[in-house]
Structure 1
Amino acid sequence: MDLKELLQVHLLEITRERDPYMATAGHFFVQEYIRQQLTQWGSVDFHTFQVGSKTCKNLILNLPSQSVQNKANLPPVLIGAHYDAVPGTPGADDNATGVAVLLELARKFAAEPTRYPLRLVAFDMEEYGLLGSTEYAALLRQQQQPLRLMMSLEMLGYRDANPGSQSYPSPLERFYPNQGDFIALIGNLRTIPDLIGMSRRIRKTGISSQWLPVPNRGLIVPQTRQSDHAPFWDVGYPAIMVTDTAFMRNPHYHKASDRIATLDLDFLTGVCAGLEFAIRRL
């Protein structure tokens, strides 16, 4: 199967009602699917945390760097995507696309490691206030675990090339294109060299890319904080969100209509290939 078909297989499994409270069977199914997929490439750790009486789980796969000698304690690149969805939506773009790309990156990087060790994390409870990533970022900070970079894969499959299809928080519309046919990289100021380099490399693979650095943990543009990178910003890590910009482009955001049929699978495949290329060159 080619990359597009492999992504489609993942989407077919993950795109279903999977709210952790209202659709527990779907939520457990997707959690188990992710575990089975990642287990092919190494042992999967669970990071469990409590939300009230509920036990929630982030799933973690660590992949080694290129060579053992090169392991001179290089900090890992953490790549995350949330697997929960809001009630009443099958969550194809939000965030089956992010999880599908996470699983394919695991496959690619297990077969051919990168310069940095990688930590791939499927986050739970994002839709309830970034709870899984908040717990995990706090744990890493407490362990004094350095990170080369944290990347949150957040909605990667919706493209609309029509003029006027892309909106922005003011005044960004003056500086960025008004058609929603690009993938956006949004990072804190420490990531500016990575934003520039990764955007350039993604464009080299044929996918349009825009980048935005935000000061002060994104607090002045709250829309830039709506994913699992924000808790990493808050505790001082360099972190980037990779996104199709969600509700600023996709009219199916958080709706029952967020289905596979609305996605642009060629765009999603290009984003996945572009990210692999960019991450290999960090």
Structure 2
Amino acid sequence: MSTPPGAAGKGRSLSAVSRDRIEQHLKFLVGVRHPVAAPAALQRACSYLEDTLRALGYAVDLHGFFDGGQEYHNVVATRLGTRRPEKRVLVLAHFDTVAGSPGADDNASGVALLLELATMFKEWRPELTLQFVGVNLEENSDRDGHGTGLRGSRALAAFALQQGWEIEAVVVLESVAFAGGSVRQAAPAGVPLQVPPNGDFLAVIGNELAQGVVARFALAADSFDIALPVVPLVVPDNGELLPDTRRSDHAPFWDAGYPAIMLTDTTNFRNPHYHEPSDTLETLNLAFAVRVCQATAAFLLGMAGGEGAAPS
């Protein structure tokens, strides 16, 4: 794979990331977005993703699936690859919330970064097909409160398998804006590494199949000199021994045999507002979110290749 102009080398920057655009997306999205507690807001978020991605020039499809007898949609925006269109790189973020939380960090932050990345790459001609996907119904309760969550991503992973998609990497943006040097960091039992005591880093979690993708993400952030501490974690098999590493939309792709990574601020292991009414825009660290976006853009430049108006 060729290296796009400006996509490697110490001292590079990704100044195209707009904090203002990220904040505007957050202001629109923040609020309860739930199939029972706030179905209209959930649909507004879905339509916002669809309309924004269409306006950026992507081919947009609504991938439907049923839950509790009702149809919901994932929003799939596609830019076909110029050289190897059969190979795909996916960027995912879920746009629903739990019933009692406005979900600024979980997960308006991930959706805002997804839309900012799509904006940055709107004139890029990738060698591999690049897809930005808003995923519905990630949260871990269904209509009667007893579900296992991940309904939208599970449906999409099953569809990808059925259609024979050749996925090179799935990148899941899961709660990526709560951080700070004074934030206390905890860790789930059994994590096989020393977790920093302060929550000022981005965790990059992959399974054995995605080990190379984890390494490429960390290398991309370093290559562009992005001031973002990255803590990588590769779990055995599909993370069954560490269930906390399976708590987002990457897990169905692991189970389907695709290389997927989760980018996360570690949610409840750092954020006291997790799934609470206090998960508001005011609690977020937008400077940290910008750096996560820069690192993800650097990764996509190397992973998907291509040419055009580079996000630099």
Q: What interval of TM-score do these two structures reach, taking the shorter chain for normalisation?
A: over 0.9
CA shift, 1:2, in A, is: 6.2
Contact 1:115 1:280 in 2 (8 A): no
Of 130, 143, 155, 2:175 maps to 155
Contact 2:191 2:242 in 1 (8 A): no
Q: How many matched pairs?
A: 277
Unaligned 5+ residue runs, structure 2?
Answer: 1-15, 142-148, 304-312
Q: Trace 1:69-88 onto structure 2 (pairs within 5 A).
A: 70-71=83-84, 73-88=85-100
- The normalised TM-score by structure 1 is 0.94
Q: 1:228 and 2:249 equivalent?
A: yes
- Aligned CA RMSD, in angstroms, stands at 1.5
Q: 1:275 and 2:296 equivalent?
A: yes
Higher helix proportion (structure 1 or 2)? 1
1:111-154 alpha-carbon deviations (Å, 9 max, x no partner): 22333211111110101310000011011111111101111110
- The normalised TM-score by structure 2 is 0.85
State the distance in 1 between where 2:298 and 2:277 align: 33
Give the aligned partner of residue 89 of structure 1: 101
Letter in 1 for 2:188: P
Give the aligned partner of residue 8 of structure 1: 23
CA shift, 1:172, in A, is: 3.0
Q: Secondary structure at the match of 2:238?
A: helix
Give the aligned partner of residue 274 of structure 2: 253
The 1:118/1:2 distance shift into structure 2, 3 A limit, reads closer
Of 181, 199, 205, 2:218 maps to 199
Give the aligned partner of residue 33 of structure 1: 48
State the distance in 1 between where 2:242 and 2:125 align: 36
Contact 1:160 1:249 in 2 (8 A): no
State the distance in 1 between where 2:252 and 2:197 align: 29
CA shift, 1:176, in A, is: 2.2
CA shift, 1:221, in A, is: 0.4
Identical positions, percent? 36
Letter in 2 for 1:6: R
Contact 2:59 2:79 in 1 (8 A): no
Higher relative contact order (CA 8 A, sep 6+): 2
Q: 1:58 and 2:74 equivalent?
A: yes
State the distance in 2 between where 1:12 and 1:193 align: 35
State the distance in 2 between where 1:200 and 1:252 align: 31
CA shift, 1:198, in A, is: 0.9
Letter in 1 for 2:167: L
